[in-house]
């Protein structure tokens, strides 16, 4: 499951968690957040109070765990 969490009121980050049955035993990815905004850049769908739609791309290591 991909999820969004807020560092503070204006800064969102994206993390990953998994569960064998989707109900219990959730395990967070050890490198969460896997996507986080850079300073003064577009923030995963949010810029201040303005909500936006966009696409994030992770060009790093394999996210499987």
User: Where exactly are the structural domains of the chain?
Assistant: 2-51
For the question of whether the overall pTM of this predicted structure is more than 0.85, the answer is: no
- Is the pLDDT confidence value at 58 over 80? no
Compute the distance between CA of residue 9 and CA of residue 54 in angstroms, rounded to an integer: 19
Tell me what pLDDT residue 48 has: 63
> How large a percentage of the chain has pLDDT more than 70?
83
CB 12 within 8 A of CB 45: yes
Compute the distance between CA of residue 21 and CA of residue 10 in angstroms, rounded to an integer: 33
> Nearest-CA neighbor of 34 among 54, 49, 64, 14?
14
> Nearest-CA neighbor of 1 among 34, 10, 19, 48?
19
Strand pairing partners for 4? 14
| Residue-wise pLDDT tens digits, 24-52 | 999 999 989 988 887 777 666 666 677 77
- Is the pLDDT confidence value at 20 over 90? yes
Tell me what pLDDT residue 42 has: 65
């Amino acid at each position: 499951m991909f999820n969004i969490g807020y560092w503070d009121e204006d800064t969102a980050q994206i993390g990953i968690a998994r569960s064998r049955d989707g109900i219990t035993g959730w395990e967070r990815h050890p490198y969460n957040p896997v996507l986080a905004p850079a300073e003064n850049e577009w923030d995963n769908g949010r810029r201040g109070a303005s909500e936006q739609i966009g696409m994030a791309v992770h060009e790093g290591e394999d996210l499987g765990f």
